[in-house]
């Protein structure tokens, strides 16, 4: 006996087509069996009589299709407690039966479709990488904990276990080119709270896609509640702005890097052309405040009346900032092409700046009464654990150091510039966003003269 589907006859001119019928909320699902029956071979009870040619074969064909549709409906009903929509059933029916069953047992079954949609709408390739990091994290969780992750099992226990795994057990390496055993690198264990929170936010976005595009029965409000309670239980909170330290370069440090060929000619000559280009890119960002993705896309046409006028890729907000003479020289020197690969540049900058800060320390100690702090401390929270990351100052340098340095130096000039001008140059519309980029120094000295007091020395200096 079939609970949700019916065999129906659709009358044609000289025969009837046999179809399988299903409905919900007034919407109808009809699929042809490919069987045609003459009127004389349909009994008064609406069945096919034994006088129908190929009776046994056609009966098997009808039964096979009805069994398949009934099976898909029942599998959905068993998991979600209600019949599926006609739209969902139509999409599932177009897949092989095994795939249709598998989809309901694996929560990431629509991941490829989700990523395909994001690739059409996302400007930053780094965002796609972030989404795929979520997939990798979830798959490792499933493998390590022997977990079944299906849509109907996304309950409080799942989010408690998944979040606990992320901050306490998940192993990862930052450079995937150094993952082979012969490299001898041990993976880091446990994601920082901020990263784990982003993973959950991305997972919620994926589940919303499944609900909207594939009619999967998901209560997103419940999901958000589960995540909130899991974060509370695991004490997964981001560091406050006062606790979070990230490296910024002072105007004097930028001045030293700009004139590295003057102050340390031997070290400058030892750098490759690529390394000098990477320094150019960072200096440009320190002086202009552009984010990495916007720096890559700077064109000659973006320069208007001595200013860079451009929309931020992240938000679409326009920013307008005076083109620094040194930044202009960098653009000309690189033929208005500052394109780069983030991971490569970040890795090289760390190595270069370990030496740069050692060289700069000698100058700093001569000029000031205090010693230059070569070791810096960064606090990281993983669940309830606080971890202090103590390492050479140079190892904290990255591309975003440029934008943070610009806004921190600009923030120290805010009284002169005015907060509206500060936000305009940053390309922000919310003051909280601007203030979030302004960081406390671990050690600082005020610059003198000009906006940042950075200039290129002549050979005669």
- Least reliable range by pLDDT among 284-288, 366-370, 456-460: 456-460
Residue 393 CB-density burial (10 A; 0-12 exposed, 13-18 middle, 19+ buried): buried
Across the range 35-41, mean pLDDT stands at 91
Q: What is the pTM of this model?
A: 0.65
Across the range 15-28, mean pLDDT stands at 92
State the sign of the Cα–Cα–Cα–Cα dihedral 260, 264, 269, 275: negative
pLDDT at 210 > cutoff 80: yes
**Per-residue pLDDT at 35:** 92
Residue 84 CB-density burial (10 A; 0-12 exposed, 13-18 middle, 19+ buried): buried
- Interval 65-121: pLDDT, tens: 999 899 889 888 887 788 999 988 888 887 665 555 556 678 898 999 999 999 988
- Interval 427-449: pLDDT, tens: 665 555 665 555 545 554 544 43
Using pLDDT thresholds of 50, 70 and 90, give the confidence band for residue 243.
confident
Across the range 210-222, mean pLDDT stands at 88
- 111-234, CATH topology level: DNA polymerase; domain 1 (1.10.150)
pLDDT at 416 > cutoff 60: no
Cβ atoms of 284 and 249 closer than 8 Å: no
CA 395 to each of CA 157, 234, 399: distance values in angstroms, whole numbers, following the listed order? 39, 30, 12
Q: Tell me the domain boundaries of the chain.
A: 6-86, 111-234, 251-437
Residue 91 CB-density burial (10 A; 0-12 exposed, 13-18 middle, 19+ buried): middle
Measured from the Cβ of residue 298, the count of other Cβ atoms closer than 10 Å reads 22
CATH number given to 251-437: 1.10.443
- Interval 316-337: pLDDT, tens: 788 888 899 999 999 999 999 9
- Of the candidates 264, 459, 287, which has an alpha carbon nearest to the alpha carbon of residue 361? 264
Q: Residue length, the chain?
A: 461
Percent of the chain past pLDDT 90, that is, above it, reads: 52
Using pLDDT thresholds of 50, 70 and 90, give the confidence band for residue 281.
very high
**Per-residue pLDDT at 242:** 72
pLDDT at 415 > cutoff 80: no
Using pLDDT thresholds of 50, 70 and 90, give the confidence band for residue 426.
low
Cβ atoms of 365 and 175 closer than 8 Å: no
- Determine which helix (DSSP H) or strand (DSSP E) holds 450, and give its type and residue range: none
């Amino acid at each position: 006996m079939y609970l949700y589907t019916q065999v129906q006859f659709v009358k044609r001119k000289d025969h009837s087509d046999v179809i399988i019928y299903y409905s919900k909320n007034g919407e109808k699902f009809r699929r042809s069996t490919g069987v045609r029956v003459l009127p004389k071979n349909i009994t008064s009870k609406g069945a096919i009589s034994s006088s129908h040619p190929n009776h046994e074969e056609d009966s098997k064909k009808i039964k096979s299709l009805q069994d398949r549709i009934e099976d898909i409906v029942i599998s959905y009903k068993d998991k979600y407690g209600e019949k599926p929509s006609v739209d969902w059933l139509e999409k599932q029916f177009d897949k092989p039966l095994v795939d249709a069953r598998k989809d309901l047992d694996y929560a990431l079954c629509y991941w490829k479709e989700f990523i395909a949609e994001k690739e059409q709408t996302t400007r930053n390739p780094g965002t796609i990488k972030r989404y795929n990091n979520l997939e990798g994290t979830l798959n490792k969780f499933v493998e390590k904990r022997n977990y079944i992750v299906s849509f109907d099992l996304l309950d409080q226990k799942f989010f408690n276990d998944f979040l606990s795994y992320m901050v306490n057990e998940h192993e990862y390496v930052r450079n995937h080119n150094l993952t082979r055993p012969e490299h001898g690198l041990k993976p880091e264990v446990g994601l920082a709270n901020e990263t784990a929170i982003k993973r959950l936010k991305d997972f919620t976005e994926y589940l919303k896609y499944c609900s909207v595009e594939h009619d999967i029965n998901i209560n997103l409000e419940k999901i958000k509640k589960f995540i909130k309670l899991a974060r509370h239980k695991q004490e997964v909170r981001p560091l406050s702005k006062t606790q979070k330290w990230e490296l910024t370069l002072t105007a004097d440090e930028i001045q030293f890097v700009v004139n590295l060929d003057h102050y340390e000619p031997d070290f400058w000559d030892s750098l490759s052309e690529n390394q000098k280009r990477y320094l150019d890119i960072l200096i440009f960002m320190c002086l202009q405040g552009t984010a990495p993705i916007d720096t890559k896309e700077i064109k000659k046409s973006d320069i208007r009346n001595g200013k860079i006028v451009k929309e931020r890729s992240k938000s679409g907000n326009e920013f307008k900032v005076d083109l620094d003479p040194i930044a202009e020289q960098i653009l000309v020197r690189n033929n208005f092409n500052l394109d780069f690969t983030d991971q490569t540049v970040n890795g090289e900058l760390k190595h270069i700046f370990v030496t740069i800060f050692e060289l700069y320390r000698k100058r700093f100690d001569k000029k000031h009464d205090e010693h230059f702090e070569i070791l810096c401390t960064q606090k990281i929270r993983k669940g309830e654990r606080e971890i202090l990351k103590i390492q050479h100052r140079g190892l904290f340098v990255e591309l975003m150091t440029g934008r943070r340095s610009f806004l921190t130096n600009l923030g120290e000039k805010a009284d002169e510039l005015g907060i509206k001008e500060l936000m305009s140059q940053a390309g922000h519309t919310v003051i909280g966003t601007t203030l979030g980029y302004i960081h406390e120094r671990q050690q600082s000295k005020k610059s003198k003269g000009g906006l940042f007091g950075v200039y290129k020395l002549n050979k005669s200096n």
